Structure 1
Amino acid sequence: MKATYHQYMLEFKRPSGTSRGVMTEKETWFIVLEEEGKKGIGECGILRGLSADDRADYEEKLQWTCENIHLGEKALWETLLEFPSIQFGIEMAFLSLKSQNPFLLFPSDFTNTVKSIVINGLVWMGEASFMKQQIEEKLADGFNCIKLKIGAIDFEKELELLHFIRTHFSAGQIEIRVDANGAFALNEALDKLIQLNQFQLHSIEQPIKKGNIEAMKALCEATPFPIALDEELIGVFSLEEKERLLQKIRPQYIILKPSFVGGFRGTQEWITLAEKYNIGWWITSALESNIGLNAIAQWTFLQDSKMPQGLGTGALYTNNIDCPLEVSQGQLWYNKAVKWNSIF
């Protein structure tokens, strides 16, 4: 078996803002396996400034992984514990190599275009007018659940946007999730949650910065509506650490990005623990290309969650890889009539 790695820069159609800044491009890496004339591909979806494995030795570790591919998937996954995006890339690449079709990893009613995955519509941060325009587009596109990035513009303007939505659409018509990306100050967070509660929100992701365990625990106890942990899960590698975190904070939800938490195996560990402690969960992409998004979507369908998932990111880039994934009426479909345009 031969393994190689390749960098690929994804270009955003328009600059995309979070509370951590504005992105114009997204770096990703692919691992390609070749054996007996067959190829397998996996995506290592690192997000600079956020991923636990955003380290100076990242490319060196990719090279080491390719040089030691003979160790096999299980041994590599365990050795790469501090490199969750490479763990995921390895899982995906081995699955791809073993599959009859390198992009058909988990055959199901989803990949047969029989059933779809309900997803949320993502609204990016920006000027109030731009956010309002996006909201109107998502509603016109048939989404029943939208997710708003908040925390980057003036809080009063964000409240006005939420008021605008609720003036036109009830909680029964549109479910609203908000994601603060850790933007709220510790001493203001509960007050802001109380103000947000008037808009009958489904949940808020990561209201305060990760690492403030006691403060997050107190918030989860006092919050008037559910809190979902997101960044808080990044860099928590062992099963024991994962359980301690959930036992301590007791969030209402956790949000799982396979590229951030060690692929399918790492995600499954979190799901098992969440269900043990009666904590809800859903799965989202982490701005991967369509190769990574495809693998996540196929696996997510098999988990049979009834909640909207965060998988609608395939159309963000000008140079994404053409694939069968399509968004229609707030749902992600796999159109098996559409062929892949692989870059390798």
Structure 2
Amino acid sequence: MKATYKKYILNFKRPSGTSRGVLRTKETWFLILQEGEKIGVGECGILRTLSIDDRPDYEEKIQWVCENIHLPLEDLLAQLVEFPSIQFGVEMALKSFEAQDPFQLFPSAFTEGKKGIKINGLIWMGEEAFMLEQIQQKLEQGFSCIKLKIGAIDFEKEIALLQSIRKKYSALEIELRVDANGAFSTKEALQKLKLLSELDLHSIEQPIKQGQITEMAQLCATTPLPIALDEELIGVFSASDKDKLLASILPQYIILKPSLIGGFKGTQEWIDLAEKHKIGWWVTSALESNIGLNAISQYTFMQDSHMPQGLGTGSLYTNNIESPLQIKGETITYNPKENWDINSIL
């Protein structure tokens, strides 16, 4: 078996605002395994400034994987602990290589096209008019769960935006999730959570910056609005450290991005520990191409979660890999009659 990799630049259809700036492109690396006619494809995708493995030796480590792909998976993953997105790419590529169909990693009613996964509609940060436009589009498309990035425009304007949605739609009609990406200071966080809680929101992701364990634990204990940890999970590698973090903070939810937390193995550890501590969870993509999104979607379907998942990112790019993934209303589906176009990465 021969392993190679290829860097690929994904181009956003329109600049997408986050608390870490505006995204126009997204780097990713495809790990390709070949033996005769048989292939396997994985994706190693990082988010600059957020991924723990955003470091100068990243591509060098992918090259190391290609040279050592013959090692047992357990040994490979052990050497890649500090590179969670490469761990994920390796798991994905090997599972793809071993599968009967290299793009059906977890055969199920999802890959047969019989069932879909309910997802939330994602609203990007931006000017008020732009955010309102996105909200209207998502509602017209049939989404009943909407996630808004907040923390970019004036907080009072964001509250007004949420209030305008609530005037039209009750919490029974539209579930609202917000993601602060750590934008609140510890001093103002509780007061802002109280204001937000009056709007019947489902939850808020990462209200304060990661790494403030005591402050986050206190917030989770006193919050009137359920808190979901996101960035807080990044860089926590061992199962014992994961358990300690959850036991210390006891959040209401955790959000799982396989590319940021060590792929299938890392995600499963978090799920098992969350369920041990009676903490809710859902899975979200980290702006992967359709290669990674496909793997995450298939894995997520197998978890049998009935919450809306964060898997609606496939249509963000002008040059995504054409795939059988489709969004119908508020559901992501897989049409096995459609083909993958991977000529651009082979």
What's the CA shift string for 1:192-232, capped at 9, x where partnerless?
00010111000000000000000000000110010000000
Q: Give the corresponding residue for 2:224.
A: 224
2-side partners of 1:130 and 1:221: how far apart? 35
**Matches for 1:1-344 after TM superposition, within 5 Å:** 1-342=1-342, 343=344, 344=346
Secondary structure of residue in 2 paired with 1:265: helix
2-side partners of 1:168 and 1:300: how far apart? 32
1-side partners of 2:113 and 2:40: how far apart? 23
In structure 2, what residue type is equivalent to 1:109?
A
1-side partners of 2:100 and 2:248: how far apart? 44
What's the CA shift string for 1:289-310, capped at 9, x where partnerless?
0000000001100000000000
Q: Is 275-284 or 33-42 further displaced after alignment? A: 33-42
What's the CA shift string for 1:133-181, capped at 9, x where partnerless?
0000000000010000000110011001101100100000000000000
What's the CA shift string for 1:249-290, capped at 9, x where partnerless?
000000000001100010000000000000000000000000
2-side partners of 1:333 and 1:316: how far apart? 17
Aligned positions, number? 344
In structure 1, what residue type is equivalent to 2:108?
S
2-side partners of 1:138 and 1:328: how far apart? 12
Secondary structure of residue in 2 paired with 1:130: helix
After TM superposition, which residue ranges in structure 1, 4 or more long, deviate above 3 angstroms?
none
Secondary structure of residue in 2 paired with 1:69: coil
In structure 2, what residue type is equivalent to 1:288?
E
1-side partners of 2:223 and 2:206: how far apart? 12
Percent identity, aligned pairs only? 66
State the 1:102 CA deviation.
1.0
1-side partners of 2:195 and 2:71: how far apart? 53
In structure 2, what residue type is equivalent to 1:168?
K
2-side partners of 1:11 and 1:235: how far apart? 27
1-side partners of 2:73 and 2:324: how far apart? 27
1-side partners of 2:100 and 2:272: how far apart? 30
State the 1:329 CA deviation.
1.3
Q: Please, what TM-score do these two structures have when normalized by structure 1?
A: 0.99
Secondary structure of residue in 2 paired with 1:148: strand
Secondary structure of residue in 2 paired with 1:106: coil
1-side partners of 2:335 and 2:64: how far apart? 37
Tell me, which stretches of 5 or more residues in structure 2 are unaligned?
Answer: none
In structure 2, what residue type is equivalent to 1:193?
L
In structure 2, what residue type is equivalent to 1:46?
I
Secondary structure of residue in 1 paired with 2:22: strand
2-side partners of 1:113 and 1:64: how far apart? 37
In structure 2, what residue type is equivalent to 1:323?
S
In structure 2, what residue type is equivalent to 1:293?
L
1-side partners of 2:51 and 2:72: how far apart? 24
Secondary structure of residue in 2 paired with 1:199: coil
1-side partners of 2:200 and 2:59: how far apart? 45
2-side partners of 1:205 and 1:316: how far apart? 21
State the 1:34 CA deviation.
1.0
Secondary structure of residue in 1 paired with 2:70: helix
In structure 1, what residue type is equivalent to 2:278?
N
State the 1:75 CA deviation.
1.1
* RMSD, aligned CA: 0.7
Tell me, which stretches of 5 or more residues in structure 1 are unaligned?
Answer: none
State the 1:72 CA deviation.
2.8
In structure 1, what residue type is equivalent to 2:125?
M
